[in-house]
Amino acid sequence: MPNDLAAVVLAGGLGTRMKSALPKHLHPLLGRRMVDWVIRAAHDAGVGRVVVVASPDTAALFDGVEVAVQLTPLGTGDAVRSARAALDGVQGDVVVLNGDVPALTPELVHALVEAHRAAGAAGTVLSFELGLLWPGFMKFAGPIVGVPFSLEGFAFFTEAIFLGVYLYGWDRLSRRAHLLAGIVVAVSGAASAVFVLMVNAWMNTPTGVTMAGGTIVAVDPVAGMLSPAAFPQALHMVLAAYASTGLAVAGVHAWMLRRGATRGFHRRALIVALWVGAPAALLQPLSGDISARLVAKTQPVKLAALEGQFATERGAPLRIGGWPDARAATTRYALEIPHGLSLLAYHEWNAEVKGLAAFPRSDWPPLAPVHVSFQIMVALGMAMALVALWAAWVGWRKREIAEQPRLLRALAVVAPFGFIATEMGWLVTEIGRQPWVVQGLLRTSDAVTPMPGLIVPLTVFTLLYLVLGAVVVALIAAMVRDTADEPAGDAGEPLAAGA
């Protein structure tokens, strides 16, 4: 990298959020101060000049680099301005780095500079994940996906704020105010999901953009957010979220009841969870039908892949199970229901369904992952719907759900099904769209980052989330076990599904 590149490392903060007299960037980490890792990354990336912005009290702590003093901590903009005098004579680009990001790598600095220069931009902000892993996608689609992502940010922070109010205001708010906080959490959480799903829906059915020379030259953000797939995907995923969590919670309490835990708390929790999860599970097949019909219309090659349909034919069969064999152009071992696919996809007995052979081989998604994931998703979703229907039938007949051992066993069995089905559904959506990241407009190969070494952050984040997941499971398990010893209270009172 040419030496006309300079870097400004911001290290003038006081570290008040660390609750420490030592500024955050000066805390040691693996034998070095945090800021030293950043300075090293800049040097290793080939940066010619590194200017550290420090406070008057810490300016003398930096050796081997130029130091600019920020006299008064007035924020990031003022810190960068404090370095202007030290940057006199610099003719090239300037990278501004925070001094408290010790995981910053030289490769990332290099990739940021290269992306900035390739775009010919006046300024480039390094965004997390999308900008790092999918620079081609953000360069192409940033103008259209920025609006829903921004709205999702507002919804997310609203949810986070009121979740804190709901949790920590339990004994400090009136019952009405506490209930209102919970409603805001639920609404903002759903809104956050819908805004993200609008982006994914646009990737599947892009609208609201005018193309010229392979680039977007005009954008209608509202039309992009309201793409043909927006409502079907939002409906399908929101219902999946409610069905998954509702039946998972119901399964936990059903399992506790079968183990003989005191009934007062678990009976009521079971009914509340079923009121959330059962209606969503029963509606999910209907939303799936809406989504499947849209896929048949807008992404016929995806429909052919998930159903293992190789030949174009009228009255196409619906396949249950099976393994797609691309060489033999057939789906082996599948149970076929005559005319089933034509009927479900187009609501016509003899409707024509395009097979994979009607499309270039280069436009086929990976067949086995798409077909198998779809089969698992449908099977688990139908199992959840059947158990939800069973619970609804027992409640409608005014029978005590907690006294139905077979139903409790079924609820415990299907508890994880929703989460597995949701993951399978996302595999169908994303792998089934391949080789496109934006259907028909941008191929995945043109959108992904060329940056090497991503296996390291991938491994770190995977391990991090596995640890966090294990902690969450352990905490919830401990909370559930604690309820097993609670006083029976009014456990003898009858409680039917409608209570």
Q: What is the 3-state secondary structure (H, E, C) of 330-368?
A: EEECCEEECCHHHHHHHCCCCCEECCHHHCCHHHCCCHH
Name the band, by pLDDT with cuts 50, 70 and 90, for residue 352.
very high
Superfamily of domain 6-126: Spore Coat Polysaccharide Biosynthesis Protein SpsA; Chain A (3.90.550.10)
Give the pTM. Answer: 0.77
User: How is residue 139 written in tokens?
Assistant: 């360069």
What confidence tens digit (pLDDT) does each residue in 99-156 have? 888 877 787 787 778 767 766 667 766 665 666 677 778 778 877 888 898 899 899 9
Name the band, by pLDDT with cuts 50, 70 and 90, for residue 490.
very low
Q: Say which range, 29-43, 202-216, 387-401, 474-488, has the weakest mean pLDDT.
A: 474-488
CB 233 within 8 A of CB 277: no
Q: What is the pLDDT of residue 492?
A: 40
Of residues 147 and 408, the one with the higher pLDDT is: 408
What confidence tens digit (pLDDT) does each residue in 309-342 have? 999 999 999 999 999 999 999 999 999 999 999 9
Q: What is the pLDDT of residue 146?
A: 82
Distance CA 75, CA 476 (A): 40
CB 304 within 8 A of CB 353: yes
Q: What is the pLDDT of residue 129?
A: 61
Nearest to 432 by CA among 304, 293, 252, 276: 304
**Residue 320: what are its φ and ψ, rounded to 5°?**
-110, 120
Q: What is the pLDDT of residue 362?
A: 94
Terminal CA-CA length for the chain: 70
Q: Say which range, 26-35, 383-392, 464-473, has the weakest mean pLDDT.
A: 26-35
Cα atoms in the Cβ-side hemisphere of radius 13 Å centred on 10: 20
User: How is residue 258 written in tokens?
Assistant: 């079968």
Three-class SS of the chain: CCCCCEEEEEECCCCHHHCCCCCHHHCEECCEEHHHHHHHHHHHCCCCEEEEEECCCCHHHCCCCEEEECCCCCCHHHHHHHCCHHHCCCCCCEEEEECCCCCCCHHHHHHHHHHHHHHCCCCCCCCCCHHHHCHHHHHHHHHHHHHHHHHHHHHHHHHHHHHHHHHHCCCCCCHHHHHHHHHHHHHHHHHHHHHHHHHHHHHHCCCCEEEECCEEEEECHHHHHCCCCHHHHHHHHHHHHHHHHHHHHHHHHHHHHHCCCCHHHHHHHHHHHHHHHHHHHHHHHHHHHHHHHHHHHHCHHHHHHHHCCCCCEECCCEEECCEEECCCCEEECCEEECCHHHHHHHCCCCCEECCHHHCCHHHCCCHHHHHHHHHHHHHHHHHHHHHHHHHHHHHHCCCCHHHCHHHHHHHHHHCCHHHHHHHHHHHHHHHHCCCEEECCCEEHHHHCCCCCCCHHHHHHHHHHHHHHHHHHHHHHHHHHHHHCCCCCCCCCCCCCCCC
What confidence tens digit (pLDDT) does each residue in 427-481 have? 999 999 999 999 999 999 988 877 667 777 788 888 999 999 999 989 988 887 7
CB 244 within 8 A of CB 404: no
Q: Give the number of other Cβ atoms within 10 Å of residue 400's Cβ.
A: 15
What confidence tens digit (pLDDT) does each residue in 158-169 have? 999 999 999 898
In the predicted structure, residue 223 carries a pLDDT above the cut 60: yes
Q: How far is CA 302 from CA 237, 292, 334, 366, 428, in A?
A: 18, 10, 18, 10, 9
Of residues 69 and 431, the one with the higher pLDDT is: 431
Q: What is the pLDDT of residue 81?
A: 87
Give the mean pLDDT of the chain: 87
Q: What proportion of the chain, given as a percentage, has pLDDT over 90?
A: 52
In the predicted structure, residue 194 carries a pLDDT above the cut 70: yes
Q: Amino acid identity, residue 181?
A: A
Distance CA 247, CA 190 (A): 18
**Averaged pLDDT, 189-204:** 95
**Averaged pLDDT, 256-285:** 90
User: How is residue 19 written in tokens?
Assistant: 């609750």
**Averaged pLDDT, 44-54:** 87
